[in-house]
A and B are shown apart, each in its own frame.
Chain A
Amino acid sequence: MSRLSRLFGRETGQQHAVVRAIGQDRSATCPIAVQSLEFSGDKVLRSVHTGGVTCLDLDHGEQRYLLAGAADASIAVYDTQLPSGAEAQQQQAEQREATRAAAAALDATMAPLQSSRQVAEARANPGGCTDHAALFSITKQSPGGHKYSVAAVAWYPVDSGLFVSGGFDSEVKVWDTNTLQVACSFSVGARVYATAMSAAATAHCLVAVGSDNTAVQLCDIVSGGFTHTLSGHRGAVWAVHWSPSSDWELVTGSCDGQLRLWDIRRAGPLHVFDQHDTQQQWQQQQQAQQQQQHAQTQQQARQPETKLGQSRRLAAHAQQPAKGSGSRDGAAAASERMFLPERVTKYATAHAGSITGVAPTPDGLHWLSAGTDDKVRLWDAASHRHQLVHYPGAFNRAVQARQLAVSDDGSLLFHPLGSVVQVYDVGSGKMLRTLSGGHYGTINCCRRGSCVVDHAVVFVHGVVWNATAQELYSGSSDCNIVVWAPARERVNSERDGWQRDSDGDDWSE
């Protein structure tokens, strides 16, 4: 039984064994049908934004509510599971056009708003798809709304009662979802590029804020103040992500190309990732050390120890702690160089350009980072080494943060490139697919006089993977959010397949 068919079993509430089996599913037995991910004709998210969508987040509890922030300072939440009624859609569409017209009256060079291709298709084929309009939206005019572009949004990881947004007006605001009021607000002092809350943390409620400041600030929602300042980066911090396995660790990536791992309980970075510090080196050192120790114990067991032998052993032991610390810091086993820690903090970089996105794999074993040197790098979370997996074609010239997404079983990486989304295999680095055709540039016309038709280039800013529904959402600068879902024929065949399989009684499973 494939994954999709088991999802249907869970939806209809049949067979508890099926529910358990989904959790144990590994990609080796039931790989996600990445070949069938396509522009969804069944589900349409009607965007209310009149500026480019800059950030997306899906709530952790139910994986149901999609939070989106846009460049026109609007924040909206969409329900991805229940479609909305027709009146709500109508209302929102009108509202959107009205705001757009108002903005266009002030600035006549703005391009006319183009609905996404999905919306157009939905209009053409009203019976076949479900429309999901925004449940609510917060705009510039709402009380407490951001004044400039919203650059980062994050749900409160425990439930969807709170969410956090950070914008170019240097403010990080914590909103109550039910009343749409600002519960508390932090003034950071520089443009905010990234906000993150820890999904694993039970002991704290800290929001990590990456901004134009080179120091990463941690804000506490409970007390309303700043608790930590993590300094050490030499450029603006564009990417922040908490560790999925530890309450206290987070990874930050900045414009100077440094990727730092912090433990907030201690001062200074826990580790600075170095692209030249690789897994193989570490493995060789470990092997060499083990062999050495093994040889030593063998030697001791064989001969009675003379005085010379004793002094030699002591000398070897004296040498070993230095070598041990050296191996931890990454010195080559062949060389006898002492590894100086300041070399790492001064010179080590994870990428040769700026780091635009950081994402951990859900099992917490690896970190992925993307940079403007056209590289995506895989890091081992335990040894902090570069895994040397090559992801070809990851061209990147972003001027702001771009979210990466990793599928829930950790086998797929979704990397936004221009107006398409590339799908890579995390382990081998192979490019599996390019999801294209979802986002289009608008046609810009000059006002009065000659009409210049020009295709603006569209950038996808954020991608989010929905594990429960096996869908991908991508938000881009064409103000739309596109849903990529498994193909309808495959979904139907899976559903039929499941129904056929489930005809047997409980004993046969």
Chain B
Amino acid sequence: MSKLRLALPQPPPKRRRTREHVQHWAPTAGDVAAPSSPTNVDLAEEAAPEALPNDTLTALHLLKSRFPAEAAVTPFASRSQLYSVLADRTLADRQLEELRRTAAIRLLQLPASRDECAVVLAGDYAAAVQQCKAGLEEKQQQQSGAANSRISGSTSMDLEVFDWFAERVLPRCSEVMITHSELVQLLGTAPGVSRLLQPRQQGAPAAVTDHQVSLLLNQGLLTRHTGGPDGYLFSMPNAGLAVRSVAAGRQEILGLLQRRHQPELLEAALLKRKLQRSVLGVRWHVADMIGGGSLLRISTAVGPVLRAAKRGG
């Protein structure tokens, strides 16, 4: 009797997850412990076990789970928050870059903040685009319901631009900015057709109108780039609120600390307070400032204490 030797598929090798490299981030009840990164990570290895998400992606999901739901902005994280969760900053930068290139996340340069990028998950961004479209459709229906003979400003044809934006522009352009000519070209090209080999047809789809582009601008999905005449920056709806909150929240927390005799406060006490000028919540700001270096987290016998850091030697 011949023995059948079944060749069972080998399970993918498990990576050893050690806790040494995780910075002391006290896990609270609702937290998932952030996995640490092994010291010598070869990015090629990352691609092979696809079931295992990137360290950075896991950290982003973790930060998203902490984002206050009542804020009227898309859940976003700042780079410094990532640095406060992940120990190796160079690795975090590189993994973030890879995620951006594979369109798993979007990097948005928030207006009026120097070099600060908001990191938004691709799914969340697409949901925001759909939300904009749905909002406009509702408004349109209300307007057409009120005065049915009048043609409202934006027709349903125009609202297609949001779908085009989500299908044609977002997957193909992973940069933070886009020029006007590129935008128009991409919006007009159906996905899957190579632009270079596209034969010129008589029945080609209508070119994107300026009105449609201005719809995108009005909803906040694009903003004008200050560096040149015809550039746009990708942005999210209600970005103004986000930027104001980020700046004001930082100022408020630093102010709270500096008014005291020693510029330090128990973290537990700080987390109980509510910020008046920011919708993002204390926890968001604390993570952001620790990663950015303006707050230091010192563990003491009574718990972690946050101290305002002095810079400049």
Residues of A within 8 A of B (CB): 276, 278, 280-281, 284, 315, 318-319, 322, 332, 334-338, 340, 343, 346-347, 349, 351-353, 373, 375, 388-390, 392-393, 395, 397, 417-420, 428-429, 434, 436, 457
A335-B174, A352-B114, A390-B92 are known contacts; what are 15 more A-B pairs with Cβ within 8 Å? A280-B43, A281-B101, A319-B196, A319-B197, A322-B196, A332-B175, A336-B196, A337-B172, A337-B173, A347-B228, A375-B115, A397-B312, A417-B313, A418-B311, A428-B90
Query: For the complex, is B177 an interface residue (Cβ under 8 Å from A)?
Result: yes
In Å, the complex CA distance between A388 and B96 comes to 10
B172 and A388 form a contact (CB under 8 A):
no
Instruction: Give the top 5 A-B pairs by smallest Cβ distance, nearest first.
Output: A352-B115, A418-B313, A418-B312, A390-B89, A420-B313
Instruction: Determine the chain A residues whose CB is within 8 A of the CB of B101 once the complex forms.
Output: 280-281, 284, 332, 334
B115 and A429 form a contact (CB under 8 A):
no
Min C-beta distance of A424 to chain B, whole Å: 11
A280 and B179 form a contact (CB under 8 A):
no
B89 and A335 form a contact (CB under 8 A):
no
Instruction: Determine the chain B residues whose CB is within 8 A of the CB of A278 once the complex forms.
Output: 97
Min C-beta distance of B196 to chain A, whole Å: 6
If over half of B's interface residues share one DSSP class (helix, strand or loop), that class is named, otherwise mixed; here it is: loop
A388 and B186 form a contact (CB under 8 A):
no
| Contact bitstring B95-110, A, C-beta under 8 A = 1, else 0 | 0011001110000000
A337 and B114 form a contact (CB under 8 A):
no
In Å, the complex CA distance between A436 and B173 comes to 46
Instruction: Determine the chain B residues whose CB is within 8 A of the CB of A353 once the complex forms.
Output: 114-115
| Contact bitstring B227-259, A, C-beta under 8 A = 1, else 0 | 110010000000000000000000000000000
Q: A280-B43, A284-B101 are in contact. Are A336 and B293 (CB under 8 A)?
A: no
Instruction: Determine the chain A residues whose CB is within 8 A of the CB of B148 once the complex forms.
Output: none
A340 and B98 form a contact (CB under 8 A):
no
Q: A332-B101, A346-B228, A418-B312 are in contact. Are A340 and B181 (CB under 8 A)?
A: yes
A335 and B194 form a contact (CB under 8 A):
no
A346 and B231 form a contact (CB under 8 A):
yes
Instruction: Determine the chain A residues whose CB is within 8 A of the CB of B196 once the complex forms.
Output: 318-319, 322, 336
Instruction: Determine the chain A residues whose CB is within 8 A of the CB of B43 once the complex forms.
Output: 280
A334 and B172 form a contact (CB under 8 A):
yes
In Å, the complex CA distance between A276 and B225 comes to 15
Instruction: Determine the chain B residues whose CB is within 8 A of the CB of A343 once the complex forms.
Output: 179, 231
Min C-beta distance of B199 to chain A, whole Å: 11
Q: A340-B179, A340-B181 are in contact. Are A429 and B313 (CB under 8 A)?
A: no
Query: For the complex, is B94 an interface residue (Cβ under 8 Å from A)?
Result: yes
Q: Which of A318, A322, A388, A429 has the most CB of B within 10 A?
A: A388
Instruction: Determine the chain B residues whose CB is within 8 A of the CB of A276 once the complex forms.
Output: 175-176
Residues from 181 to 236 in B contacting A, C-beta threshold 8 Å: 181-182, 185-186, 194-197, 225, 227-228, 231
A347 and B227 form a contact (CB under 8 A):
yes
B311 and A373 form a contact (CB under 8 A):
no
Min C-beta distance of B44 to chain A, whole Å: 10
Residue of chain B at shortest CB distance from A353: B114
Min C-beta distance of A377 to chain B, whole Å: 11
16 contacting pairs across A/B (C-beta < 8 A): A281-B101, A332-B173, A332-B174, A334-B171, A336-B196, A337-B172, A337-B182, A340-B182, A343-B231, A347-B177, A388-B93, A389-B90, A392-B89, A418-B312, A428-B90, A434-B313
Q: A336-B194, A417-B313 are in contact. Are A373 and B114 (CB under 8 A)?
A: yes
B97 and A280 form a contact (CB under 8 A):
yes
A315 and B311 form a contact (CB under 8 A):
no
Instruction: Determine the chain A residues whose CB is within 8 A of the CB of B90 once the complex forms.
Output: 388-390, 428-429
A335 and B172 form a contact (CB under 8 A):
yes
Instruction: Determine the chain B residues whose CB is within 8 A of the CB of A336 once the complex forms.
Output: 172, 194-196
Residue of chain B at shortest CB distance from A275: B115
Residue of chain B at shortest CB distance from A274: B175
In Å, the complex CA distance between A351 and B114 comes to 10
In Å, the complex CA distance between A389 and B185 comes to 34
In Å, the complex CA distance between A373 and B116 comes to 10
Q: A332-B101, A332-B174, A375-B115 are in contact. Are A315 and B225 (CB under 8 A)?
A: no
Instruction: Determine the chain B residues whose CB is within 8 A of the CB of A280 once the complex forms.
Output: 43, 94, 97-98, 101
Residue of chain A at shortest CB distance from B91: A390
| Contact bitstring B73-89, A, C-beta under 8 A = 1, else 0 | 00000000001000001
Q: A336-B195, A390-B89 are in contact. Are A417 and B227 (CB under 8 A)?
A: no
B197 and A315 form a contact (CB under 8 A):
yes
In Å, the complex CA distance between A3 and B228 comes to 52
B313 and A436 form a contact (CB under 8 A):
yes
Instruction: Determine the chain A residues whose CB is within 8 A of the CB of B89 once the complex forms.
Output: 390, 392, 429
In Å, the complex CA distance between A315 and B97 comes to 32
In Å, the complex CA distance between A343 and B92 comes to 27
Q: A335-B172, A336-B195, A337-B186 are in contact. Are A395 and B93 (CB under 8 A)?
A: no
In Å, the complex CA distance between A429 and B89 comes to 9
Instruction: Determine the chain B residues whose CB is within 8 A of the CB of A337 once the complex forms.
Output: 172-173, 182, 185-186
Min C-beta distance of A233 to chain B, whole Å: 14
B311 and A346 form a contact (CB under 8 A):
no
Residue of chain A at shortest CB distance from B174: A332
Residue of chain A at shortest CB distance from B181: A340
A393 and B293 form a contact (CB under 8 A):
yes
In Å, the complex CA distance between A281 and B176 comes to 15
Residue of chain B at shortest CB distance from A373: B115
Instruction: Determine the chain B residues whose CB is within 8 A of the CB of A429 once the complex forms.
Output: 89-90
Instruction: Determine the chain A residues whose CB is within 8 A of the CB of B177 once the complex forms.
Output: 347
Residue of chain A at shortest CB distance from B116: A352
Instruction: Determine the chain A residues whose CB is within 8 A of the CB of B293 once the complex forms.
Output: 392-393, 395
In Å, the complex CA distance between A508 and B118 comes to 62
Instruction: Determine the chain B residues whose CB is within 8 A of the CB of A436 once the complex forms.
Output: 313
A335 and B173 form a contact (CB under 8 A):
yes
A388 and B197 form a contact (CB under 8 A):
no
Instruction: Determine the chain B residues whose CB is within 8 A of the CB of A390 once the complex forms.
Output: 89-90, 92-93
In Å, the complex CA distance between A434 and B312 comes to 11
B225 and A388 form a contact (CB under 8 A):
no
In Å, the complex CA distance between A419 and B310 comes to 13
In Å, the complex CA distance between A347 and B89 comes to 26
In Å, the complex CA distance between A102 and B195 comes to 74
Instruction: Determine the chain B residues whose CB is within 8 A of the CB of A389 once the complex forms.
Output: 90, 93
Min C-beta distance of A392 to chain B, whole Å: 6
Min C-beta distance of A429 to chain B, whole Å: 5
Min C-beta distance of A109 to chain B, whole Å: 24
B313 and A419 form a contact (CB under 8 A):
yes
Q: A352-B114, A419-B313 are in contact. Are A346 and B173 (CB under 8 A)?
A: no
Instruction: Determine the chain B residues whose CB is within 8 A of the CB of A284 once the complex forms.
Output: 101
Min C-beta distance of A504 to chain B, whole Å: 39
- Which of B103, B197, B312 makes the CB contact (< 8 A) with A417? B312
Residue of chain A at shortest CB distance from B102: A334
Residue of chain B at shortest CB distance from A460: B313
In Å, the complex CA distance between A261 and B225 comes to 24
In Å, the complex CA distance between A64 and B13 comes to 56
Residue of chain B at shortest CB distance from A337: B182
Residue of chain B at shortest CB distance from A278: B97
